[in-house]
Chain A
C-alpha cells in the first residue's frame, strides 16, 4: 500500500485533526446495531498507519455515507470523503464487496459507460409535454431502471418521473428529457469504482452541454448532489443551475403560481433524505410544501432535520440485517407520530422503506408516498379541472 495515498486520504479528510472524541461512533446508526463498526476507530487506524486492518474489515462497506458523523464532528473530519477515498484504495486490491441485488445496478451502470443508445424515455406518455430542446432539463436518473429491477416490490418508481413532468407542465415548463442521459454514477463512486464513475460523469456533462440546458431539475437528491457538487470536483465548474423539484414547487407555491388542494390524507410526517437534508441543506422546502396543503398536519418525527436517520442501505452494497434494523427503527418512529403517510423526497428512501414494509413480520399502519406524488395529486384537483378530465377521457 503506497504511503502516499494514505497520506493523501488523511490530508484531504482532515483525519489528523481527529481528537478521538467518539462523537461519530456515538451518532452513527450503523454502530448502534453493529458493534464491530466504528468510524472513530477507522479514522484512528488510518492515522496510525493500520490501513491494512481497515482493508480486511468488511465493515468499511457498511457505512451509509449518511453524513451524520461529519455533521457532528467537532474537528471537521470529513468521514464521507474518508469512506470514498479509502474504498477506492481498497478496491484497487480487489477486495470483495457485498453487492445488493446481485450487482445488477452496478452492472447496468457499467454498460451505460459504453455509450449504447438507451431507450430510457419510453415512459413519457402523450399526456406529458416535453420538448426536444430548451432551457429546462429534467434529470430522470435511474428511475426507468428501478422500475424494472424493483418490480417485485410492487412499486412504480417511474411514477415519480411522470409526476415530476406533470408538475413542471403545470408550471408552464416543458422540460427536455434526454435519452442520452446516463446514471449519475454516485453509487459507483462510493463503491470505489472511480474509473466508471468518471466515464458516466463525462457522458452526462457532454449531454448537458449539447442540450444547452440552463436549469436542471431533479427528483433524486443523490443525482442532484453528484451533478452539483461532485462533478465540478472532477470536471470543473459549469454555469448550469441544479435544483431539486421541491425547491421549484415551494417557490411557485410561495408566489401563488401553484395552489395545492386538500387531500384525503390529513396527517403526514416527513423523512429527511440524508443527501437532501444534511448534504444540500434543503430541510424547509419539502416541509413548506406539505404545510401549504390545506387541512393537513405535518407531524414531527423523532430525530428530524439534521439528526434524521438514513433509510438503511446505500450505494447498493451491504444490505444486511443491520440495515433492516435501522429501517425498522425509523419506520417505528414514523408510526409513533400517528401520521397516516410517511413522505419521502428520495426515490431510494422510497424503495428501501417499501422493502422493509413488504416484510410480514412487522405490522405497520403507515403508508409511504413520494413527495412528487403528493404534489401531483393535490394540484390536479383544482383549477384545470376540465383539462385533466379531457386528458383522462
Chain B
C-alpha cells in the first residue's frame, strides 16, 4: 500500500506541465477542440482575445497555419480520429484574405470534408468554419464559447444514446 503511494507520488512529480493541464481539462470535462487559425487574421484575432482578457473556455488548441487554404480534409479527419472532439477552421474574411482566395478555398474544403464525414458516419456538427479578422477578439471568444457548448452537448447526446 505504502509503496504504491510513493510510486504514484514519483510519477506525479514526473508529469510535465502539459500533461497536468491535460489531466485537469479532462477532469473538468472540457472537450478538445483543434482550431486551425490563419496567420494573418484569425491567429491575431485569438491574440487580441487574449490581450483584451475576453474569457473563453480552455478547450481550444490553436494551430497556426499560414493560410486557411492550406487545410486539407485529411488534416481535419486526422484531428477528429486522433482524439479531437471538434475542429474549427478559421480564416480571414473573404475580401481580406491575405492570399486572395485562401478563405474561399478553405470554405470549399470544409464543405467537402463535411460531405465525407456524412458518408463516413461522423457527425458533421463537429466541424465549424469561421471567418475571424484580426480585430475581432470578441468574436473569437464568442465562437470558442459557443462551439465548446455545442460540442459538450453533442458529447452528452452521444453518451445519452448509449
Contacts and interface: CB of A to CB of B under 8 A. Distances in A.
B116 interface: yes
Given A110-B81, A111-B77, A111-B81, A104 B121 contact: no
Contacts of B116: 104, 108, 145, 148-149
Interface in A114-129: 114, 116-120
A104 B122 CA distance: 15
Given A102-B74, A103-B74, A108 B120 contact: yes
Given A104-B72, A151-B112, A145 B77 contact: no
Interface size on B, as a range, is 10 to 19
A279 interface: no
A102 B119 CA distance: 18
Contacts, number: 46
Contacts of A117: 121
A118 B78 contact: no
Interface in A84-141: 102-104, 107-108, 110-112, 114, 116-120
Nearest to B75: A102
Nearest to B71: A102
A332 interface: no
B119 A119 contact: yes
A144 interface: yes
B73 interface: yes
A102 B72 contact: yes
Contact of A104 (B74, B81, B118): B74
7 contacts: A104-B74, A104-B116, A108-B120, A111-B77, A111-B122, A114-B81, A149-B116
Interface of B: 72-74, 77-78, 81, 112, 115-116, 118-122
Interface of A: 102-104, 107-108, 110-112, 114, 116-120, 144-145, 148-149, 151
